[in-house]
Amino acid sequence: MSRIEVTKLKEVSSQILVASGVPTEDAQIITDTILDAHKKGRHSHGIGRLSIYIRKINSGQMNAETIVKTVSQTPIISILDANNGFGQVAAYKGMSNCIKVASEHGIGVATVKNSNSFGSAGYFGEMATKQNMIGVVMGNASPALAPQGGSKAILGTNPICFSFPGTDEHPSIVLDMACSVAARGKIRLAAKNGEKIPLDWAKDADGNPTDDPTLAILGSLNPIGDYKGFGLALVVDIMAGLLSGAAFGGDVKALNTPSGFSNYGHFLAALNPDFFLSRKEYNKRLDYLINNIKYSGETGAIFMPGERSHIQEMQSTDYVDLPSKIIRDINDIALEFQLSEKL
């Protein structure tokens, strides 16, 4: 790990994106999601991903410019097409729509097709909470989970986020979870480090439990709660993929497979608490709920969803600690593009 200035990280990210053909405005959105991930310690969703996007753009399987088209629009529901650009930009525009609509109608919904991975679902959930809205974010992804009774991976780890605006006393609640027991990144890391993984994380290609991360990557990840987690991933595949017009049912292509457009899909919604109860009542009830949970155990032992990330973010306003490998990779790209800045 090395300590990097946030302003420098921001500059390098923007420069790389713009050098790759991404419009300045889009580069700002993507860079903000990257900074957010690193500040929260989610380095797997940060600047290290840029090399994958750039390769995909260079191979003609992704567009540097994200021209989000509105396929259809009713007072409540926006159906969007990301034109095979950045998922971050499309999800940002989708959630912006939802928030605007929810402020007037109490709820706003958007779907996005022809997209790519949007990074952390929680980022878009927090877009909602920053506007005092409840956020719902789902994204389908490339195959990782096999159904009970089968061994072939069909559904993605398919992140789900539910977020609830915080109060003066407590930060927003941001549940941002994959439907698998363990993230794929953790298993890849174990493979790289020659480490074994717990037997309940994954199965090999024949459907047998394995502690070998290499066999796990060729097999499937275990969903949380067996059929329940697979069922939740199915909900995401339908809401974000089937309904949106994106790929689904095993057809979403991972960002790093050089085989055409990925066609990820997203589902986004914002719900306005003011349509349910007064803001004062909401705040009072949320504080009561959080206090009942947090103070049911020893002080400092219980954290709400998103609270640890929030604490880490508050401590990372000026600097973030980045893994050395990410820094080397990014500096290689900076050199290649002959940028004025590097990490």
**Residues written for the chain:** 343
Both structure tokens of 215: 């066999």
> How far apart are CB 304 and a second copy at their closest, in Å?
8
What are the start-end ranges of the E strands in 184-258? Answer: 202-203, 220-221
Residue nearer to a second copy on the CB measure, 146 or 339? 146
Q: Which helix (H) or strand (E) holds 299?
A: none
> How far apart are CB 194 and a second copy at their closest, in Å?
27
SS3 56: helix
> How far apart are CB 19 and a second copy at their closest, in Å?
37
Residue nearer to a second copy on the CB measure, 275 or 332? 275
Residue nearer to a second copy on the CB measure, 7 or 73? 73
Residues 46/10, Cβ–Cβ less than 8 Å: no
List residues binding a second copy (CB under 8 A): 74-77, 79, 105-107, 109, 111, 146-152, 154-155, 162, 164, 173, 175, 177, 181, 224-225, 227-229, 231-232, 234-235, 237-238, 242-245, 248-250, 271, 273, 275-277, 282, 285-286, 288-289, 292-293, 296-298, 301-305
Residues 99/270, Cβ–Cβ less than 8 Å: yes
Among 311, 307, 32, which Cα is nearest to 163's?
A: 307
> How far apart are CB 234 and a second copy at their closest, in Å?
7
* Count of alpha carbons within 13 angstroms of residue 310, beta-carbon side: 16
Residue nearer to a second copy on the CB measure, 46 or 122? 122
Cα gap 186→37, rounded to integer Å: 16
> How far apart are CB 96 and a second copy at their closest, in Å?
19
Residue nearer to a second copy on the CB measure, 25 or 298? 298
> At 240, which amino acid appears?
A
